Amino acid sequence: MSDNHLPTAELQMLDAAHHMHPFTNGDELEKKGARIITKSSGVWLTDSEGEEILDAMAGLWCVNIGYGRDELADAAARQMKQLPFYNTFFQTSHVPAIMLAKKLAEIAPGDLNHVFFNGSGSDSNDTNLRMVRHYWEAKGEPERFNVISRWNGYHGSTMGGGSLGGMKGIHAQGGLPIPGIHHIDQPDWWSEGGDMTPEEFGIARAQLLEEKILELGPETVAAFIAEPVQGAGGVIVAPDSYWPEIQRIVKKYGILLIVDEVITGFGRTGNWFGCETLDIQPDIMTCAKGITSGYIPLGASLLSDEIASVINGDEFAHGYTYSGHPVACAVALENIRILEEEGIVDRVGSEIAPYLKEKWETLADHPLVGEAKIVGMMASVALTPNKETRAKFAASAGTVGYICRERCFKNNLIMRHVGDRMVISPPLTITKEEIDILIERARLSLDEAFEQIKAEGLYE
């Protein structure tokens, strides 16, 4: 018993009775009981039983500066006392929103100098969807209504975000995707590359964009949206040939490129934004998660000079009560100050990501592991019964991944499974010693999972 709270069993019972969890089978969870997290520091979580867990997922890909930074709590408290809320709708503004917009324009690449604030990643993408369509309406090309996205991309779970995303499980519920959204296949060489080399496959998958544009009619396409590296899809890193070809195609047809940096932003890939790491030139960038290191909800759409000048020509009938919430903006400013002044982004690029890469790639030797992929501080391994043929398990996708994830959980390591890929995205502030512990626990969990799946006849 670690702290001043009800016993774990009682908390679990109340949780099951009243709390509906996102992306969770409630009945299953009720039988098992949720693991209850009570406190945190650095890369470590403590649960209600006093167990210390290494959080290799940084919460949900978001706690970039690590847990327990009082500066963020203090920034929030100061702002709450001074001006806890004011809106930015009716020709009013406030200091935190102004200063954060200026700061984001400074750190963002290219001419992404304009910021529309939102509450989360999902509703930022809803903003972007309306924004690109309205942009073309305002330019006198209202027939540019279609937006192209990718299967197994993740852009949130609202009607817009969930439609833009390519998660079949989301589309299966509640009438998604909404009209005018079209998906092309992802650049996942490991599972879909067949006999092609990664480079050939990267080009082939990028050219699906051109095929889709031609199929829909170039004059009907508003934008293409993608993550620099697919996160929730399993940390899928496209072959090097992919992005230059995408860039060529969007330019050729004059369609807007929305890059969803909700995970890849704020240092995750070793630069401020994934676009810089992968040399992508977006017209719109989606930010959330790491913008506040997850300490408080905030999303932002960063827009090019061209888009802002067109949108500003009339009233964009869109916004959220909490667009530019002063407390969230104050926390984001403090978060960015820490990332900058403590050299955290530079340290990722020059020191800690190379160290993690060296260690992570050793996991490829494990009998259960096919490929090990990593970009900056986000990484994955593909589990397979046969490395040579890149085979899938006979059991339904995710069966083996779930077993491995459960082993990690038991070994006090939070690593997520996406189907039969295991993924990590630790706080950027993780130390080398903590990376060693992470790898040690990951290897132990893989060993145990390997024994278990062999014992259960799943290694085939």
Ligand X SMILES: *Cc1c(COP(=O)(O)O)cnc(C)c1O
- Find the shortest distance in angstroms from Cβ 128 to ligand X: 10
Shorter beta-carbon distance to ligand X: residue 222 or 259: 259
Shorter beta-carbon distance to ligand X: residue 12 or 230: 230
* C-alpha 247, offset from chain centre: 21
Long-range contacts of 189-196 (CB under 8 A, 24+ apart): 189/239, 190/370, 190/371, 190/373, 190/382, 190/390, 191/382, 191/390, 191/392, 193/390
Shorter beta-carbon distance to ligand X: residue 264 or 384: 264
Neighbours of 332 (CB within 10 A): 30
Shorter beta-carbon distance to ligand X: residue 72 or 226: 226
- Find the shortest distance in angstroms from Cβ 156 to ligand X: 4
Helix (H, G, I), strand (E, B) or coil at 341: helix
For residues 212 and 244, what is the distance between their CA atoms, to the nearest angstrom? 18
- Find the shortest distance in angstroms from Cβ 322 to ligand X: 13
Token representation of residue 194: 């067949």
- Find the shortest distance in angstroms from Cβ 152 to ligand X: 12
- Count of residues that bind ligand X according to CB under 6 A: 15
Contact positions with ligand X (CB under 6 A) in 228-287: 231-232, 260, 262-263
- Find the shortest distance in angstroms from Cβ 238 to ligand X: 14
Member of 156, 187, 228, 290 binding ligand X (CB under 6 A)? 156
Shorter beta-carbon distance to ligand X: residue 166 or 326: 166
Member of 204, 278, 287, 288 binding ligand X (CB under 6 A)? 288
Q: Which residue is nearest to ligand X (CB)?
A: 121
* β-strand pairing of 221-226 with 146-150: parallel
* C-alpha 430, offset from chain centre: 19
Contact of 148 with 182, CB cutoff 8 Å:
yes
Shorter beta-carbon distance to ligand X: residue 267 or 385: 267
Contact segment (CB under 6 A) with ligand X among 120-128, 134-142, 364-372, 432-440 equals 120-128
Contact segment (CB under 6 A) with ligand X among 89-97, 118-126, 330-338, 373-381 equals 118-126
Token representation of residue 161: 């975000």
- Find the shortest distance in angstroms from Cβ 264 to ligand X: 8
Member of 122, 127, 335, 429 binding ligand X (CB under 6 A)? 122
Contact segment (CB under 6 A) with ligand X among 117-125, 137-145, 175-183, 206-214 equals 117-125
For residues 236 and 3, what is the distance between their CA atoms, to the nearest angstrom? 39
Neighbours of 105 (CB within 10 A): 15
For residues 384 and 392, what is the distance between their CA atoms, to the nearest angstrom? 6
Shorter beta-carbon distance to ligand X: residue 296 or 404: 296
Residue among 58, 70, 51, 216 nearest 149 (CA): 216
Q: Does 227 bind ligand X (CB under 6 A)?
A: yes
Helix (H, G, I), strand (E, B) or coil at 273: coil
Instruction: Count the alpha carbons within 13 Å of 318 in the hemisphere toward its beta carbon.
Output: 21
Contact positions with ligand X (CB under 6 A) in 44-63: 61
Shorter beta-carbon distance to ligand X: residue 227 or 420: 227
User: Which parts of this chain interact with ligand X (CB under 6 A)?
Assistant: 61, 120-122, 154-156, 227, 231-232, 260, 262-263, 288-289
